[in-house]
Amino acid sequence: MAGEDEVRSWLAAAGRVTVLTGAGISTESGIPDFRGPQGVWTTNPAAQHMFTLQNYVADPEVRRLAWGNRRDHPAWTAEPNAGHHALVTLERSGRLRAIVTQNIDGLHQRAGNAAATVIEIHGTLFDVECLGCGARTTMRENLDRVDAGEPDPACLRCGGIQKAATISFGQSLRPDVLRAATEAAADCDVLLAVGTTLQVQPAAGLAEVAVRAGARLVIVNRDPTPYDALASALLRDPIGTVLPRLVAAAAA
């Protein structure tokens, strides 16, 4: 198993690095993770009920609570941290193929990564999608309607139920987004998996796609993952500490 020095040299030599990010990169920005030891799902499995599409569609009370959660989500005030900024440095070095993120918090773009570089496989909190006609609007304008007294704002085009443009339990990933993510995983020299427990498919399977295509898999995560045996290096240090060190040589 390689160490941090070798990872630095791989990144410095790489033409294309694809980064896969999960909740762990955003916890240092104050956004809780869901599946870690202190995660929302782990400590309160009932919370998962609200994020299941079937329950959301069936129960107006679930929707009312969900709109309140969106309004109170820490992503509205969170700031990108040193881990996010390191990936901007990597993009400026010309070596970043894509960031495939499981996060919905928009912090990669806020940090300064190009929107076209960020593939949000679980969607974004900042858009709303109509489950009826597919119309997309901004979260901000819908939350304004909530604040003006509509507990569950319906689609202005078709009257349908609206939801954050995120992937709920029971909801499929968008095929075009998944395709772009798979292409990015298959087309890199290094897949850097950061802050993801690699437990959710199909996101986790991207690690295997990359390895089969000949890439080195580097996992930066506090806890073990099911893909550790496939990895060329495992780094356990805090993300905001280790990522800036990793990209420094690549940017030089």
Binding site for Zn ion (CB under 5 A): 130, 132-133, 135, 155, 157-158, 160
What are the C-alpha distances in Å from 105 to residues 10, 77, 225?
A: 29, 10, 23
**Residue pointed to by tokens 């990169």:** 25
Question: Which of 10, 56 has the CB closer to Zn ion?
Answer: 56
Tokens read off for 219? 């996992």
- Report the b/e string of 195-208 with b at 16+ CB within 10 A: bbbbebeebbebbe
Question: Which of 39, 132 has the CB closer to Zn ion?
Answer: 132
Question: What's the closest the beta carbon of residue 17 comes to Zn ion, in angstroms?
Answer: 39
Question: Which of 132, 205 has the CB closer to Zn ion?
Answer: 132
Distance CA 1, CA 20 (A): 20
Question: What's the closest the beta carbon of residue 153 comes to Zn ion, in angstroms?
Answer: 11
Question: What's the closest the beta carbon of residue 62 comes to Zn ion, in angstroms?
Answer: 19
Distance CA 67, CA 118 (A): 25
Cα radius of gyration rounded to whole Å, the chain: 19
User: Quick check: is 108 catalytic?
Assistant: no
Question: What's the closest the beta carbon of residue 123 comes to Zn ion, in angstroms?
Answer: 17
Residue numbers annotated as active site: 122
